[in-house]
Chains A and B, each alone.
Chain A
Amino acid sequence: MTVFLQRIEDSLEHLVANGKLVEQALTGMQGSYVELLTILAVGLLACLPVLLPRRGRQWMRHLNQAVAFFIFVLVVYTCMGVFGMLRNLIRGVNEIGHENILALYFCSMPVTIFVTSMIFGPSFCGWTCPTGALQELVAAIFGRRRGAAAQTGRWRPWLMAGTTAAVFLLGVAYLTQTRILFHEDSGIYWSEVLIAILFLVAWRRSVWDRPLRKLRLVSLLVILLAAIAGWQITSPVHFTFAKVWDPASALATLVVILASLSVPHAWCRYLCPWREVIRWAAGHSVRRIESVPSACQHCGKCSSVCRLDAIRDGAVDRAECHLCLRCVDNCPASAIRVVDRWRAEP
């Protein structure tokens, strides 16, 4: 078994490690690693939802996600995953006034996402985020539409949770035998909690789904405290961003993928710390989704297409919305629409 797993790891390592198409940061500012391309890419990809017409918008969104995945995974170096961005933000803030170029380097990515979320809403989550795109892609290929777990009987969620747990435990056992795990590898604790969540949701999804989403805040606080303490914890999908092979992150990614087959966007729903930041920014954003209750036909189409259960009877829960605009595109009565609320001039 160990030999078999070793071969899998070797294959993954050869596939992923050193997978960057460029040896050094593109458009890096002179003498530093501030990647202007990262900032430009995130900014442009966040702006796109504003520019696109309703027709064919979902295809464009998937294209947008694919381009973002390509850029983040194969080209840019600054993006270090959801945990890394928060860690970088702390480091960058500490460098302001001392090493401003380093401050710019560390803050560029998180600040760009934060600012675009304040303006364009949580479009980063729905249109750009590689982790979200990966979950959506896997669910689209292997899973069914939203509510697949509920619609295919009570055994499926338990089976998925059990399978995910088995894969995870096997992976951890393998890692403990082949390498030393550092505190950087603490991402496996997030995987463990995600699996525990899967079991709870499999048990009573209607009861646990909403309250467990508060764990995002706990996740955020833990990551911030770790960053302040100087601990570097790598997040799921981090291994695809880095040039260094990170098996613990790869295992965490595998768990996120399997979890997304059971609960759509499981990582984003329950544990993504960056989602909590974006939620706050998007709550104050200029661009937002609003529903018109008088026009709503209560057909339920919007809630059936929303993969995050962020809309019910035409009412949008903005704290959970990823601004994927599926509900807008699928509403037959145009009762849900995107509005830009700029503050009026005094």
Chain B
Amino acid sequence: MIVHRLIVTALALACCEQCLPGAITFDASGLATAVGADQYWPSQRCGPGGAACVHAASSQPIEEWHFRSLGKGIYQKGVAVWASPAVAVVGGRPLVFVGGCDHTMHALDLLAKQRLWFKVTNGAIRDAAVVGEVAGRAAVIWGSSDRFVYAHDAATGQPLWSRELVAATATQGDVDVAAPLVHDGIVYVACFVYDKAFATNRQQAILSALDAATGTVFWSQAIDTGPVNAPAGREIDGRFVLFLAARKGLVRALAVSRQGPSPLWTFQMPHEVLASPAVEPDGVAPAVFLGSKFGDLIAIDARTGVQRWRRMTGNWVDNNACVTRLNGENVVFVGSYDRCVYALRASDGGELWRRRLGSEVFSAPSVFQVAGQMRVAVACLDNHLVVLDAAGGAVETCYYVGEPQWDSISKGETLWSSPAVLQAGDATVLIHGSYDGVVYVLPLRASVLEVSPWRPWQIWVEMAAVLVLFCAAATIVRLRQLGHRQRPVASRY
């Protein structure tokens, strides 16, 4: 294991753009307070609604940046190249925290366009990191397949604590650690431990509550016999409620505190669930939204666990939905493997719009505002990141984010990375860890992505150019033909 760790560390050092001595550097180049007050990312998709957007005041634009890390790994079911990124403003600096199959958590400084620090773990990082305040400073917390949860100082990379979630055994297989959730000084983290010595029905998914400051385990409880997805949570009636979806489709609501979990209700989804729930962040009667492999999106009353409405899409809904306020009402956005993005009224599931894209929509949507207009960003299996108008569903623009670096992938078995947004006026950027091994940082100035604006007339211009080329080629061919006809005898002798 030590040798493996050394090798991975050496590779990380060798392959990254910035080879840093040790694990920590900090470039204090006067960029602090350039973006605004500190903003954190407390759960998998930033908040209970899953908008995956951090707001900050702006003063300095962020440039486009493609961060490359390790090369090819071996395709493993369920392990994305990159986990979804977490974005935070720490000490006035916009930072991105992203881990992946290279076993490494990378902290990227968006202003300086350099890697600030990294931490190599002993396993693949399968889910997003979170950023929360711990003892007065920002800490980035993530789980790794090596059974550990790590907490590091977000700005410097200094280790704060690490905690082993389950003890190692000789027959232990992979440990699937979901994205943590930080609330009120407590880190909630779910993991699934596969032990080859146990029968399938004795495998265990464990939910643990750790002290965010020290990593001390407050409590740890077995909650399922299969994998569980990252929790979402919000306060309801004065209690903090966690919503957990098991891969087998059982959704649980647990009122959690330092003392322990208290089950509220369960709801059985009709099929397998790969996503985490999205919860209405506002309102007195919130709903939980979750899609399944059956292809439906179900709204569940967050208080009672009773189904409110159910809406079928044309194919699997693998990733999280996102619920946000739009034009005075809550709207749910969700991508489906039927190649469509749906915008549905959160109250009754009525369809506001549906937009078909080039291929299966595998990512969770990110919702943000640019130039006063709400936008939705999703990633598709046609290798493009697409930005749509949230109000009408019109495609604003897109960006090519590369082909999967693994060729033998199978659709629907891995949750590939979803985009995240730092919304900061002119400094607004879209961040996406693509399955081609690159983390794309794409500026979103004005109304469209600056990097690749789409104009419908382009195709007509290009077609005209092709036609001109063809006519020129045909003319040359014809002239050559006439030339040959005029001098057949001379050329023969």
Q: Interface on A for B, CB 8 Å cutoff? A: 13, 17-18, 24, 31-33, 99, 102, 105-106, 172, 175-182, 184, 188-189, 192-193, 196, 200, 207-208, 211-212, 214-215, 218, 232, 243-245
Contacts and interface: CB of A to CB of B under 8 A. Distances in A.
A196 B469 CA distance: 11
Contacts of A207: 478, 481
Secondary structure at the B interface, as helix, strand, loop or mixed, is mixed
Contacts of A18: 315
Given A192-B466, A192-B467, A179 B474 contact: no
B356 interface: yes
A13 B358 CA distance: 12
Interface of B: 315, 339, 356-360, 381-382, 384, 386, 395, 397-398, 400, 403, 407-408, 410-411, 454, 456-457, 459-460, 462-463, 466-467, 470-471, 473-474, 477-478, 480-481
Contact of B398 (A13, A180, A212): A180
Given A172-B459, A244-B382, A102 B356 contact: no
A32 B408 contact: yes
Contacts of A245: 339, 356
Secondary structure at the A interface, as helix, strand, loop or mixed, is helix
Contact of A180 (B397, B470, B471, B481): B397
A106 B408 CA distance: 11
Given A102-B408, A180-B358, A182-B382, A212 B466 contact: no
A211 B477 contact: yes
Contact of A172 (B386, B463, B477, B480): B463
13 contacts: A18-B315, A31-B408, A99-B407, A102-B407, A105-B408, A180-B358, A180-B454, A182-B358, A192-B466, A196-B471, A211-B478, A212-B474, A244-B360
B474 to A, nearest CB: 6
Given A182-B382, A207-B478, A244-B358, 5 more contacts: A32-B408, A172-B460, A200-B474, A212-B474, A244-B339
B391 to A, nearest CB: 18
A196 B459 contact: no
A18 B407 CA distance: 20
A214 B477 CA distance: 9
Contacts of A212: 474, 477
A196 B467 contact: yes
Contacts of A102: 407-408
Contact of B356 (A99, A179, A193, A218): A179
B408 A192 contact: no
Contacts of A184: 358, 382
Contacts of B456: 176-177
A181 B408 contact: no
Contacts of A105: 407-408
Nearest to B407: A102
A321 to B, nearest CB: 22
Given A102-B407, A192-B466, A176 B459 contact: yes
Contact of A192 (B360, B407, B463, B478): B463
Nearest to A176: B456
A180 B403 contact: no
Contacts of B478: 207-208, 211
B460 to A, nearest CB: 8
A105 B408 CA distance: 10
A31 B274 CA distance: 22
Nearest to B481: A211
A102 B403 CA distance: 15
Nearest to A245: B339
Given A172-B463, A211-B477, A244-B359, A24 B410 contact: yes
Contacts of B471: 196
Nearest to B455: A176
Contacts of A214: 477
A180 B462 CA distance: 14
A105 B456 CA distance: 37
A78 B92 CA distance: 50
A208 B407 CA distance: 43
A180 B467 contact: no
B463 A189 contact: yes
A215 B477 CA distance: 10
Given A31-B408, A244-B382, A179 B470 contact: no
Nearest to A17: B339
Contacts of A106: 407
Contacts of A192: 463, 466-467, 470
B353 to A, nearest CB: 13
**Which 4 interchain pairs have the tightest Cβ spacing?**
A176-B456, A211-B477, A189-B466, A244-B359
A52 to B, nearest CB: 37
A31 B358 CA distance: 28
B408 A179 contact: no
A193 B466 contact: yes
Contacts of A175: 459
A221 to B, nearest CB: 12
B338 to A, nearest CB: 9
Nearest to A102: B407
Contacts of B384: 180, 182
A25 B395 CA distance: 33
